[in-house]
Structure 1
Amino acid sequence: MSAITDRIDACKAEGRAALVGYLPVGYPDVDTSLEAMRVFVEAGCDIVEVGPPYSDPVLDGPVIQHAAAIALEGGVRVDDAFRAVSVVAQAGAVPVIMAYANLMLSRGWERFATDLVAAGGAGVITPDLTPDASPEWIAAARAAEVDTIFLTAPSTTRERMQLTADASRGFVYATSLMGVTGERASVGDAAADVVARTREAGAERVCVGLGVSTGRQAAEVARFADGVIVGSAFVKAMGDAGDLKALRVKVEELAAGVRGEA
């Protein structure tokens, strides 16, 4: 068990899914992004994904790429991500980091894991690492008691589903479609299918990301997933102006969705 599983299970005990919010650190500037993390928690996020901006993302769509570019131009650093983790933990939600492997490797697997724990973090989502390609990271994470969160997709084979479920801790991140992050008009049937197949492979907790942007969609996904992951819709709501009021309204809408109130 971990802080992540405890929080997801607590949400399940309330008869709902967890709301997982994502934001790049440093967008539109570091101080505003830290305040936005607090807004996430106050408005209803159970778990917060802290995103250290990266120059060559493989999962992020145009909205988050734009935000990351602004953050990088502003001089954001990985240390700022750990500051954000501390803010989330102090505000009362469970913080995780979503990081690309080069950022972690340059810091050192062990140091990255221990720095995360020191800041109050519980896990790391690694969109460009697969379990079989990351034994050093898994070993470092296990030693520091950090949850390793890997991804499944509609194209993932049964064998790799099982590999991912076995290596994941906290939850498995199920991508609901093939492509990058971004708002979609509908979630589609693939989301429920990939969750079902991930559970069949042995995953106890599965959260769904990519495409969720409205309370109605959140309510739909919450019926079959343990958590609903939202990123682009929150980044878009805040915008380059750092509109925290608009962000709060959007988070409250999605929080109502996972609670069946939308």
Structure 2
Amino acid sequence: MGTLETHLRARRDAGQALLVPYVTAGLTADWPDYLRAYADAGADAIEVGLPFSDPMLDGGTIQEASDRALRRGATPGRLLAELSTANPGVPLAVMTYANLVFRTGARAFCERLAEAGVTGLIVPDVPHDEAGPLSEAATAAGVDLVLLAAPTTAPARLRGIAERSRGFVYGVTVMGTTGERAALADSAGPLAGRLRELTTCPVLLGFGISTPEQAAQACAYADGVVVASALMRRALDGATPAEVGADVAAIRRALPAG
């Protein structure tokens, strides 16, 4: 399969709008089934959240999902062991927070990701100008470190993020936390345009993209989308992996295809 970035570049260059749905690891006993359902529904890669007790960038839905996973006894070691046998057939990018990474040690953590079959890492509370050691550890383990850019990011900082990010550049469409929203933020298009001028790495938009229509609108500006809270709300409300997979399939059908 190659690296996360190699896979996403190939899909993009073939004319495919990129779709990266999210699941909170450990949310349910059968949580790896969501991975397989997403892949069957046309996901190009999957973002897997390792639950953390203080998820500062996550809104109420992802916080609730993380709390539920933690109450079920989820730990990074157990979740990565379960992930290693999931085999969804598409690249996986783990999203978590710096506390979990550096408590283990950046090199050891990235090596554990690679052993579990993970090829991407997102750590939103590590700023790009402090990400050097983590980036080196990720690269040594064969894991792409994905960096985030916001609508208010200054030009020089935006350039640094675009140059350092691997896998894809994660464009945060709003200032605030994750969560479902009624409309795509007006800042999404300008942010994607600025990033695409600075990098050939795929640019994906996320935070608040909740419907197939919003995803299609975002893909008019960017190479693809990350969809998280809307899917986790469905799972929290009791939707099965097959049912949430059907939601992912509906988003896929709304996106441009090569």
- Structure 1 gap ranges (5+): none
Partner of 1:97: 94
Letter in 1 for 2:4: I
**Cα shift at 1:259:** 3.6
Partner of 2:38: 40
- Structure 2 gap ranges (5+): none
Partner of 2:160: 163
Count of residue correspondences: 258
Among candidates 214, 217, 227, match of residue 217 of structure 1: 214
Q: Deviations over 1:131-184 (max 9, x none)?
A: 212222112112222111110000100011011112111111000111111111
Give the secondary structure class of the aligned counterpart of 1:150.
strand
CA distance in 2 between partners of 1:85 and 1:245 (Å): 18
Instruction: Map residues 53-132 of structure 1 onto 2, 5 A cutoff.
Output: 53-87=51-85, 90-132=87-129
Among candidates 169, 173, 183, match of residue 172 of structure 1: 169
Confirm or deny that 1:193 pairs with 2:190. yes
CA distance in 1 between partners of 2:145 and 2:184 (Å): 26
Partner of 1:227: 224
Residues 32 and 83, structure 2, Cα contact 8 Å, conserved in 1: no
Letter in 2 for 1:153: A
CA distance in 2 between partners of 1:175 and 1:143 (Å): 27
**Cα shift at 1:32:** 1.8
Give the secondary structure class of the aligned counterpart of 1:149.
strand
CA distance in 2 between partners of 1:33 and 1:105 (Å): 25
**Cα shift at 1:2:** 5.0
- TM (norm. structure 1) is 0.92
RMSD over aligned CA atoms reads 1.9
CA distance in 2 between partners of 1:80 and 1:42 (Å): 25
Q: Deviations over 1:89-121 (max 9, x none)?
A: x22111010010000111111111111111111
Evaluate the alpha carbon distance shift between residue 36 and residue 106 of structure 1 in structure 2; reply closer, same or farther with a 3 A threshold: same
Give the secondary structure class of the aligned counterpart of 2:221.
coil
Letter in 2 for 1:204: C
Partner of 2:15: 15
**Cα shift at 1:203:** 5.0
Q: Between the two proteins, what is the percent identity of the paired residues?
A: 36
CA distance in 2 between partners of 1:146 and 1:246 (Å): 31
CA distance in 1 between partners of 2:127 and 2:11 (Å): 28
Residues 123 and 149, structure 1, Cα contact 8 Å, conserved in 2: yes
Residues 45 and 251, structure 1, Cα contact 8 Å, conserved in 2: yes
CA distance in 1 between partners of 2:6 and 2:205 (Å): 18
**Cα shift at 1:41:** 0.9
User: Structure 1 segments of 4 or more deviating over 6 A?
Assistant: none
- TM (norm. structure 2) is 0.93
Give the secondary structure class of the aligned counterpart of 2:238.
coil
**Cα shift at 1:18:** 1.0
CA distance in 2 between partners of 1:8 and 1:131 (Å): 22
Evaluate the alpha carbon distance shift between residue 126 and residue 242 of structure 1 in structure 2; reply closer, same or farther with a 3 A threshold: same
Confirm or deny that 1:183 pairs with 2:174. no
Partner of 2:234: 237
CA distance in 1 between partners of 2:2 and 2:40 (Å): 22
Partner of 1:25: 25
Partner of 2:3: 3
Residues 50 and 84, structure 1, Cα contact 8 Å, conserved in 2: no
Give the secondary structure class of the aligned counterpart of 2:79.
helix
CA distance in 1 between partners of 2:200 and 2:85 (Å): 29
